[in-house]
């Protein structure tokens, strides 16, 4: 057993007696995959398309947020309006509806006038290109 202890002590002494010498670092070039122009074009197209999609979705979402904010402001403005202001708004809306009503009544009168002759008898002409009666 003493021979084993002696041999280990000799090995440990020989290791301790040698000074540490760092090995120089040998750099090896990084091996990159071969350049594939088709892959680069596809990647560029995917990146461009995804960027465009993200921008479009962001603009659409932002427009929706702005629209909702404007609705809230309009509702708040209506709530804070005085009675006189509310009456003025309703009168303006009434005038707009009356003008639309008058325009529609004149159109209806023109259409009905086409179906009657000078004597007051109802005369209907078939539309061009198709028959109304068999």
Q: What is the DSSP letter of 122?
A: B
Nearest to 122 by CA among 130, 114, 111: 114
The torsion of the CA quartet 105, 106, 111, 117, rounded to 10 degrees, works out to 120
pLDDT of residue 97 exceeding 70: yes
Q: Residue 65's pLDDT band (boundaries 50, 70, 90)?
A: very high
pLDDT of residue 75 exceeding 50: yes
Q: Look-up: residue for tokens 């007696």?
A: 17
Quick one: pLDDT at residue 134?
42
Quick one: pLDDT at residue 108?
86
Task: For residues 31-55, give the mean pLDDT.
Answer: 83
Q: Residue 114's pLDDT band (boundaries 50, 70, 90)?
A: confident
Task: For residues 34-59, give the mean pLDDT.
Answer: 87
Mean pLDDT of the chain: 79
Cβ–Cβ under 8 Å, residues 115 and 122: yes
Distance CA 53, CA 34 (A): 30
């Amino acid at each position: 057993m003493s021979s084993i202890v002696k041999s280990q002590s000799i090995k440990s002494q020989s290791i301790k007696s040698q000074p540490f010498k760092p090995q120089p670092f040998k750099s090896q070039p990084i091996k990159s995959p071969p350049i594939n122009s088709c892959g680069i074009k596809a990647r560029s197209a995917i990146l461009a398309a995804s960027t465009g999609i993200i921008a479009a979705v962001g603009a659409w979402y932002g427009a929706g947020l702005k629209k909702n904010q404007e609705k809230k402001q309009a509702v708040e403005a209506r709530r804070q309006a005085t009675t006189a202001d509310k009456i003025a708004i309703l009168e303006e809306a009434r005038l707009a509806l009356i003008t639309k009503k008058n325009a529609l009544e004149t159109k209806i009168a023109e259409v009905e006038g086409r179906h009657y002759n000078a004597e007051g008898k109802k005369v209907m002409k078939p539309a061009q290109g198709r028959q109304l009666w068999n």
